[in-house]
Amino acid sequence: MDYADEIYFGLKSVKNQRIWYDYLNVSNIDEAIKIIKLAKDKNKKSYIAANEVYSQREIENTIKTIKTLLSNGLDGIILKDINLASYFKNKTDIILSTTAIVFNASALNFYIRNTGLNRIVIPQHLKPSDAIDIMKIKGIQYEIFYFLDVYCRNVAGACKFHFFDGKIREKSNCKFKVNEENIAMRPPSIYDRAKIIYDYNKMGVKYIKLARDGSTDYKIKIIKEVDIMLSIIKKSSSDKVFIQAIKKYF
């Protein structure tokens, strides 16, 4: 926690985009409160990922749980569900998850009106050149994932590979072959992904987020890597200089 400015977590009892993986979720509310308190002690902010949609039955428990966490110092919610957001609108910080699949300024305005969001996590498949109109919207903060560490091939928020037949699989569930050739959707090269981070930084993105996957040691390693990248961006006079430096360090 000393290495990051903010922390977010999933909770087993609150459906979220990584609910299939036990190890990516805090097991109970007491554990979650411990994390929130620890963050407070260290003067950091904490957020819960509640970034799925909820049935009428599920939403009552979700609201109850989040209210308990907020009363213990939680700073906000990463969400996509407009029904959930409408309950917490103007009561806490709302961060719109990538799972809301917002790809244009009109869609973002729709969510702003209906959720009271303060920040959006830009979908990883939205190119910086396609996000210009979105980022003209004032009063919103922008966040991206650290794409060098995590880059899903498919559109987060509209992907059933994890659960469509009721079996939980690891990453291999989206790799297939045709005539012996692997046709899994290839993500961009790490240099292209670094360039996306560079462009978004220059466009005014203030937050860079690490995914939940990986051990604590791995996380610390990645945060240090992010720090190096951000300092290279700061010192680079152009994207070409930046990519040259990235090739040297990564």
Partner 1 sequence: MEKAIILDDILNKEINIEKYDFVYSGSEFCFKKIPSPDTIKKIKHKNIVLMTPLLSDNSLKKIKKILDLIKISEIVINDLGLLEYLIKKHSEIKINIGRVLATSLSYSLGFGKVKETITKHINAIEIDNLIEKDINLKNKKLHFHYPFSYLTHSLICHFKIDNKCNCFTSYTKLDSAEFSNIYAKQNAYFLYEKNISSNTLIKRMVYHWIKN
**Chain residues in the site for partner 1 (CB under 8 A):** 53-56, 58-59, 80-83, 85-86, 99-111, 114, 125-127, 130, 132-134, 153-155, 157-161, 164, 174, 176-180, 183-188
Smallest gap, in angstroms, from Cβ of residue 173 to partner 1?
Answer: 8
Is 46 or 62 the residue whose CB approaches partner 1 more closely? 62
Smallest gap, in angstroms, from Cβ of residue 180 to partner 1?
Answer: 7
DSSP assigned state of 11: B
Is 72 or 83 the residue whose CB approaches partner 1 more closely? 83
How far is 74 from 93, CA to CA, in rounded Å?
9
Smallest gap, in angstroms, from Cβ of residue 144 to partner 1?
Answer: 15
Query: Any alpha helices (H) in 45-135, and if so which ranges?
Result: 56-71, 82-88, 105-115
How far is 244 from 222, CA to CA, in rounded Å?
20
Smallest gap, in angstroms, from Cβ of residue 238 to partner 1?
Answer: 23
Is 203 or 220 the residue whose CB approaches partner 1 more closely? 203
How far is 122 from 137, CA to CA, in rounded Å?
13
Reading the block at residue 188, the tokens are 């961009």
Smallest gap, in angstroms, from Cβ of residue 10 to partner 1?
Answer: 18
* Cα–Cα separations (whole angstroms), residue 84 to 54, 58, 113, 213: 8, 10, 14, 25
DSSP assigned state of 100: G
How far is 38 from 114, CA to CA, in rounded Å?
32
How far is 232 from 77, CA to CA, in rounded Å?
31
Is 1 or 82 the residue whose CB approaches partner 1 more closely? 82
